[in-house]
Amino acid sequence: DVCSSDLIILNKSVLKGLNSNFLLIILIFEACTEKVSILFNNLKLKIMNLKFSINSLFMAIALLVSAGCTTENGDGNESSHVANQQVSLSFYQVTMQSLENSQAKTRADESSTSTALKNSPFTYLDISLIPTNGTGKTIVFRQVKAEMADNFGHVSMQVPMGEYDMVAVASKNADVKINSVTEVVFPNKVTDMAAVCQKIMVKDGNNAFNCNMKRSVAKFTIENKGATTDVVKNMKFRISGNCSNKWNPTTGLAADVSVVTPTIEMSNTYFRFNAYVFLSSAEEENIKVDVEMLDSEGSLLKSLSFENVHLKTNYVTKYTTGDLFGVTSSADFTFSDAEFMDSGTGKNF
């Protein structure tokens, strides 16, 4: 009996202890639940604030873009900064006597008349519009005479407003590359050419420009007055000294000093062989010209070498012989440009 009574009292004490602990657990749980609820509500509020901030950011960006793309003109109307404008370019070759003429001595810049580019000897027109402020994209355009008919030399394009340095080159070279306002490259060989470099301002509305192109190249010619040949297939030139195959549109002279190595594919109907270079100054008197005559397999048949050749920009210097392909060891070469006094560069070999 005593043991049973003690057990009952003990069980009541245990239950009372358990009830107290359980109540404490419930109170702690409710406190945690309330805290979690507060944290959750705070998180929801922060997320809503973040969404509002993001939306506000996008609205601000949209307003900035809108403000950056438009401006007010004098009468309060808005116009676009980035809208392209119509630009029309008409190119003319300043009249000059053809360099194919042995008596050619008229400088391009000595004439005040001009002719449409479609009537010139040139077959390609390369144009580059370079933003003067250094920002924006350079606009490159090319015309091929065979594809343009009577429109060769007349160009229409859409261009963003602003100031540009325009470099345009008319030539017979399909691979001309305009790199900048200080370098135009004729990678294979220099050909006859005319060019213009000028600033143009593209404004709102239609923009029309007339552009006079002038020749900026020197020409060296070997003329054969004797028999022709079927054996020689290529005439390879090597022209060295103060000359180059690169032209500086800003100065109108050579962009550097480099060896020029054009090769002419032969025909038995040819009697005149032309090579072109850009000179470091308007006139150079110490150019060296080496010539190799090659057969169909590239073997050397005959070579010529000329020292102190006198070249002048926009002029032709012609050396003439009566036996270019012969095996004889003598021939007379003379400086034939009537603009010069006897240069004293005649050769006997």
60-103 pLDDT tens trace: 444 443 433 333 333 333 334 457 888 888 888 764 444 544 34
Predicted TM-score (pTM) of this structure: 0.68
Residue 163 pLDDT > 70: yes
Residue 320 pLDDT > 60: yes
- Cα torsion 118, 315, 257, 223: sign: positive
In this predicted structure, what is the pLDDT of residue 263? Answer: 95
Residues 6+ apart with CB under 8 A from 236: 261, 262, 263, 264, 291, 292, 293, 294
DSSP letter for 138, please: P
DSSP letter for 282, please: S
Percentage of the chain beyond pLDDT 90 is: 50
Q: Yes or no: say if 210 and 153 are a contact pair by the CB < 8 Å rule.
A: no
